[in-house]
């Protein structure tokens, strides 16, 4: 740098260097070519900050029947720790800020009586003295000191667990407890970090079947392969207003986000045309309510999945997505699940999706590229490769940018019993695997459709298998499904067309071994 007025400034990009102590050496040369001696300085590069480590997380009920929460932890020296305690559903959140000492330790005690009846949990993050912010971490409550009026039933209800779990964890042989008794509480572990970098391949996973615990298990078994999870939190009432489902779980939301996974619940009418039409007629109020819930629960957006609505509501559907885009806070995503349309249909439920219009307001369209064969159809693949490719081409030819297209794959199959008048009911990939292990049979990969077909026979006296409450009777069954080879073929299509990513319907139905090779397929 040239010296002007005795001063100079040299911007230096330190990105390639690791955090820690760095040595800077400086010298200068005057206009006559004379060089100065070298000056050496030591500086510290500090850009990465880890979330604080929580050592104790304890609640005690005192004589005044207040619930006092005490947390201790370890962070960076002289950092600021931000701590929020909240319940599962209520709007009340207890916020606190505490400074770490010179050794990085901190402790805080606060009254959380306002949220104790709502399944409390904690979110914590820290900011170091240089202004670097850590990711947030979710924290359960590790232990509880019983107070007057407490019973195991009441404690298990407050902390979203069971009496049996508390008794087992504490070695109790009786449900009787006493005032002042310290009880260890079960906590839910975080999932692993996703291996997919931000703005790279988007891999979203719907979670729908089961409880919030099942959602955790479904995400965990993907080994960090998903970076967006879409739980079934948003349903509709008969008048088209928003209905929150019983699986909505703030702890799940915070735990996913702490692991770098965005939480974008899907809004569904579950194929109920009347509810879907009412929702679109009520779109002004519905979009406002969804935006409020996204703010209240710190969600990362909404995925719209209204199906079986005809072309008569095509414009209203697009306008609903426009309203969501306008009302959701900045940085929140809006996506739409759209019917695969390889044949270019403009009437019926396929006609309700104006691909180009929706793409103006949505971050991406998730093409439901499955159910080529369906319940009541002849046996066949649920997503043959030609059918899927024509669905991608339809989107591209109708004004959707390739980086706005997410290709949906189904982790299930459909089965037909030989001799039955109708068939095609759904069966998860995990159930298919169980059936093949239980009854034997064979699997053949069909090269033309790039789909898998299994055949197995249930004999008289064989073990009973139920699917969605229906018992499979003796006979020979043909199952078309998406095995790992078929799913890899869909990922190859995503690469060939340079699409945004993949959607999974739904997590928990797949064979977990799929995720062992997933990272390699992406590359």
| Residues with catalytic roles | 307
Q: Which two tokens stand for residue 355?
A: 């691909």
CA distances (Å), origin 38, targets 1, 29, 43, 77: 16, 11, 16, 33
Contacts from 436-441 at CB under 8 Å and sequence distance 24+?
438/462, 438/463, 438/465
Closest by CA position to 151, among listed 137, 172, 135 = 172
**Residue 315 CA to chain centroid, in angstroms?**
30
Distance CA 277, CA 241 (A): 11
Residue 99, burial from CB neighbour count under 10 angstroms (0-12, 13-18, 19+)? exposed
Q: SS3 of 502, please? A: strand
**Contact 458/467 with Cβ under 8 angstroms?**
no
- Taking the alpha carbons at both ends of the chain, their separation in whole angstroms is 43
329 DSSP 8-state letter: P
Tokens 């299994």 belong to 454
Closest CA to 257 of 507, 51, 499: 51
Q: At how many degrees (to 10) do helices 314-327 and 273-281 cross?
A: 60
Is residue 211 exposed (0-12), middle (13-18) or buried (19+ Cβ within 10 Å)?
Answer: exposed
């Amino acid at each position: 740098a040239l010296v002007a007025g005795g001063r100079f400034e040299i911007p230096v990009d330190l990105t390639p260097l690791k955090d820690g102590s760095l040595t800077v050496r400086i010298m200068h040369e005057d206009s006559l070519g004379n060089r100065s001696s070298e000056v050496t300085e030591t500086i510290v590069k500090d850009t990465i900050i880890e979330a604080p480590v929580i050592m104790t997380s304890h609640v005690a009920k005192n004589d005044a029947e207040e619930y006092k929460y005490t947390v201790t932890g370890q962070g960076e020296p002289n950092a600021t720790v931000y701590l929020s305690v909240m319940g599962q559903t209520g709007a009340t959140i207890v916020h606190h800020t505490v400074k770490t000492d010179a050794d990085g330790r901190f402790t805080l005690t606060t009254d959380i009586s306002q949220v104790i009846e709502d399944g409390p949990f904690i979110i914590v993050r820290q900011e170091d003295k240089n202004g670097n912010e850590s990711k947030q971490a979710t924290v359960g409550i590790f232990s509880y000191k019983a107070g007057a009026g407490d019973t195991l039933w009441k404690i298990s209800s407050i902390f979203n667990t069971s009496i049996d779990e508390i008794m087992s964890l504490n070695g109790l042989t009786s449900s009787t407890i006493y005032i002042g008794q310290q009880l260890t509480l079960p906590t839910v572990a975080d999932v692993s970090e996703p291996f997919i970098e931000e703005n790279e391949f988007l891999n979203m996973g719907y979670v729908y079947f089961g409880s919030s615990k099942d959602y955790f298990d479904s995400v965990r078994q993907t080994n960090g392969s998903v970076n967006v999870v879409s739980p079934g939190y948003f349903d509709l009432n008969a008048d088209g207003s928003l209905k929150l489902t019983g699986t909505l779980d703030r702890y799940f939301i915070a735990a996913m986000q702490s692991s770098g996974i965005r939480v974008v619940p899907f809004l569904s009418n579950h194929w109920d045309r009347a509810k879907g039409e009412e929702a679109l007629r009520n779109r002004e109020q519905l979009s406002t309510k969804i935006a409020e819930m996204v703010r209240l629960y710190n969600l990362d957006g909404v995925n719209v999945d209204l199906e079986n609505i005809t072309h008569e509501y095509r414009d209203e559907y697009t306008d609903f997505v426009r309203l969501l885009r306008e009302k959701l806070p900045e940085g929140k995503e809006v996506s739409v699940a759209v019917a695969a349309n390889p044949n270019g249909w403009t009437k019926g439920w396929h006609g309700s999706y104006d691909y180009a219009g929706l793409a103006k307001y949505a971050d991406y369209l998730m093409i439901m590229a499955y159910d080529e064969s369906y319940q009541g159809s002849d046996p066949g693949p649920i997503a043959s490769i030609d059918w899927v490719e024509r669905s991608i081409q339809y989107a591209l030819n109708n004004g959707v940018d390739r980086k706005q297209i997410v290709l949906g794959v189904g982790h299930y199959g459909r089965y037909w019993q030989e001799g039955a008048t109708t068939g095609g009911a759904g069966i998860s990939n995990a159930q298919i695997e169980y059936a093949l292990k239980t009854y034997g049979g064979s699997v053949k990969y069909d090269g033309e459709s790039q789909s898998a077909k299994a055949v197995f026979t249930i004999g008289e006296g064989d073990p009973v298998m139920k699917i969605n409450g229906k018992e499979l009777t003796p006979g020979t069954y043909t199952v078309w499904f998406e095995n790992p080879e078929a799913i890899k073929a869909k990922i190859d299509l995503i690469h060939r067309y340079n699409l945004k990513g993949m959607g999974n319907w739904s997590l928990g139905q797949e064979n977990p071994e799929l995720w062992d090779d997933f990272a390699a397929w992406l590359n």
